[in-house]
Structure 1
């Protein structure tokens, strides 16, 4: 009877092999329960963990009882059983997490005479009349690293005089409609702030017809609006280290765009209209969630540098080497694209000669050291 009871108990046990086992994954101070078949591989476990941790599978290192778990091995073979605790470590650059960590504005000690002691208070940035006049004369409004939480009203008083506005490395949250008053602005630098989709007035921003450089790296943006296509004078677009999941199809209207850096986001697809951005010279799509690229990349005849590392790519556009005759830099590290595959593409030999020539020039001018030549992709 006891034996029969034991068998019945095993059949109804949620931790039995037929229904899977539940393990706990420790990551970044969290305990994440995961139910999985004991015959699943470590690679399968990593795939399950990606949406739970926002860490790409190739960026995950799973450690159990002091040993690194191997992707091709099953949980059963790795002795990972129900109730086991597994530690997850994320490789740098492959954590598609909750966005960048922004530093709080630093406190500056100030002496209080009547108390004869030091107190900590936020440094206040006062925009005096002389500074405003200087901004108007030079056309450069430089307010980076000023502990700002909002854009001073005096900035809008610059009007047509402003050519460059640099608000990088602050805690600015709102980009209000007043930005449209700076109608002659050419460079807008908003890097490393606290800007979100709902706090940036895109309608006003996209009215800046002379804007050539827009840089909003390291903020909290999840989308770029279709209105972006109105910035037809734009030559450089920097939106790295945000939370973007896609690019608008209107990006194809940016025919003067030369540099596009959208690395370290969560982009899974690139619109085919990217091929309409015929002036592109440098494109950085590294550390995203891409599994393929549109064939229209072959239309980018002026393209010189393409960065695709840390993605899930299995191949590249078939006409990339044949049509992009200026291409001399290609980064495919930590993808599934190997050197053996690349050598099969038409135009590879010409590309290979260009990149070797570029490397030799860098050596001649001592731009790079004498380290081994980087092939640009993994060997296997």
Structure 2
């Protein structure tokens, strides 16, 4: 006697999604809907479900249709067309972007030349560093930290090594015990390039900027940087944040946009001083409810993520929030208008926008008046 129906394993098929010169195999049940197929395609292509148009045998597939009713069988080829702008992360994953970098760097024309000789450190430079407290070595073709920098000791307050080819900082960096700002944008920094334990000895360190590097993981030791006020790690390869991020109770600005972050730890609620958070262009599908504990939060940037909803208490409890960027997400105005506290948030948003307009008009008028007098 034949069995009635099939097991779930028997229903599994693999379809090949054609997109941007790639063939992407997707395993799914034949009983699934087109909408469920789109959900599986989203993390593989970065294209949001509402930005996907699927075509099979010349027919555009509707969300409510099932693959079985469409006679989509194992090995079937389905074409994906992506609507411009409706994506998460840096943009749709295309054929040429599948190699290791997706190195999210500034355009070639804007980069400093790194193939020339390393600029030598002059004695007069060291004297100036000690006198001003500012060690400025941006765009100097450096591959390592010059030993002369360490001679500045407690005199150094700002260390700018941006746009070089530095891959490693020595543990002796902790000799710069009065350092307040460390700028390492646009280098070759990897996960193990920095000794975060040594950085924790810099008790005055308030700003770390590591934009445009190759960092995939932040270690738990980042939680020891208790004096930190700003943390910038945009345009890297981060896939997440450590739970220890919640120990940074004095952190005011967190910018981790343009990474590959899938989720935010609930401990983010411990960062009670946060004013601005930029999570744009990542792979987020939701936010933890603990975001609502950030009572000082004024600006939250979430554009180009797969987020479909917001924490239910965000407008009610984040009473300072006035900037919320949701462009390129799945969230609609109907969704956020249902949240408690929406009216108060909308009033703050409109008030801030009006103040910005008034400031521009006022500034413009003053400039014109001065121009007339001259």
TM-score in terms of structure 2 length: 0.77
Say if 2:298 and 2:320, in contact at 8 Å, map to a contact too: yes
Residue 270 (structure 1) aligned with residue 261 (structure 2): no
Post-superposition shift, 1:165? 0.7
Alignment of 1:94-173 (within 5 A): 94-95=91-92, 98-102=101-105, 122-173=116-167
Q: Name the residue aligned to 2:227.
A: 233
Aligned pairs for 1:1-380 (under 5 A) are 20=13, 23=16, 25=18, 27=20, 47-49=39-41, 55-57=46-48, 72=63, 93-95=90-92, 98-102=101-105, 122-366=116-360
What's the Cα RMSD here?
3.5
Structure 2: unaligned runs, 5 residues or longer: 1-10, 363-374
Q: Is the Cα–Cα contact under 8 Å of residues 43 and 57 in structure 1 kept in the other structure?
A: no
Give the drift of 1:198.
1.6
Once residues 43 and 340 of structure 2 are traced to their aligned partners in structure 1, the CA distance between those partners, rounded to angstroms, is 37
- Secondary structure at the counterpart of residue 189 of structure 2: coil
* 1:232-282: CA deviation from partner (whole Å, max 9, x where unpaired): 111101111222222222222211111111112222222222222111111
The count of corresponding residues between Structure 1 and Structure 2 is 337
Deviation, 1:304, is 0.7
- In the alignment, the residues of structure 2 paired with residue 35 and residue 252 of structure 1 have an alpha-carbon distance, to the nearest angstrom, of 38
Q: Counterpart of 1:198 in 2: which secondary structure?
A: coil
3-state SS of the aligned residue for 1:365?
Answer: helix
User: Does structure 2 conserve the Cα–Cα contact (< 8 Å) formed by 1:61 and 1:68?
Assistant: no
Instruction: For residue 168 of structure 1, report the CA deviation from its aligned partner.
Output: 1.2
Q: Distance in 1 between matches of 2:213 and 2:228?
A: 20
Alignment check: 8 A CA contact 1:243 1:266 kept: yes
CA shift for structure 1 position 296: 2.1
Q: Is the 8 A contact 1:321 1:345 kept in 2?
A: yes
Cα contact 1:46–1:60 (8 A) shared by 2: no
Name the CA distance, whole Å, in 2 between partners of 1:52 and 1:80.
20
Structure 1 residues 70 and 213: CA distance shift in structure 2, 3 A: farther
Distance 1:321 1:83 in 2: 46
Moved more, 136-145 or 97-106: 97-106
Inter-CA distance 334–188: structure 2 relative to 1 (3 Å threshold):
same
Q: Distance between the aligned counterparts of 1:21 and 1:230, measured in 2?
A: 47
Cα separation, partners in 2 of 1:261 and 1:367, compared to 1, 3 Å: farther
Q: Is the 8 A contact 2:287 2:310 kept in 1?
A: yes
- Structure with the larger RCO, 1 or 2 (CA within 8 Å, 6+ apart): 2
SS at match of 1:141: strand
SS across alignment from 2:172: helix
Mapped to 1, the partners of 2:339 and 2:60 lie a distance apart of: 35
Unmatched 5+ stretches in structure 1: 1-17, 109-120, 369-380
Question: CA shift at 1:57, angstroms?
Answer: 4.0
8 A Cα contact 2:42 2:48, kept in partner: yes
Deviation at 1:356, TM superposition (A): 0.5
